[in-house]
Each structure stands twice: as C-alpha cells, then as structure tokens.
Amino acid sequence: FMIFSDLNSSIIINRFNLGFSHKIFKDFYIGLSAGANFSEQNNKFDFDMKIGTELSYKHKTKSNIIKIGLDYSKINEFGISDKYIYIPYVSKVFLIK
C-alpha cells in the first residue's frame, strides 16, 4: 500500500490531503483521503474540511502516478455556502527520487 500527503495550489483553491491507497491490481490502487480546502477571498480566510476517494495508476517507470477521484467538500468559491458538494478531479503526480 501507499501512504501519501500532498499540497495542491491553484487560482481557485488550495488544498492539503493526507491518505492511503491499497493495491488492487498490478499497477492500480484504490484509496481514501482526508484534508482541508483553504483560500483567501475578499480579505477573508476560508477553511473547510473534505473527504475523498480515488483510483490511482502507478506508471511502469515508477516516477509518476495518475489519479482520478471524487472529493466531498464545502467550498464557497462556487457560490455555494454551507452546502456540501461532490468535486471530481484528475491529477498527475511526479515522484522525486
């Protein structure tokens, strides 16, 4: 299995994840994560907790991982306040050796 933590930053949102993935096939993993979304909007700092699940593929060269997943979170940037929404995502992670 894999244990991971990551910090993602974009124009819309920043997020921190901590999670684990378990191998289900040769190079495929399924996992759970928990973390936080945070942003600064109109000089106000927003901080929301999130949970998520993901499917990962570890490339044969073992230097990168492709992930698709779904987060369940409350984010005010989309004009939705005090309601939780599902946020799908796709990411590519480059591993440093």
Give the C-alpha separation, 67 to 35, whole Å: 16
DSSP conformation class of 25: S
For 8-51, write each residue's pLDDT tens digit. 887 777 888 899 999 998 889 999 999 887 776 666 666 778 89
Share of the chain above pLDDT 90, in %: 24
Euclidean distance between the first and the last CA atom of the chain, given in angstroms as a whole number: 18
Q: Is the pTM of this model over 0.95?
A: no
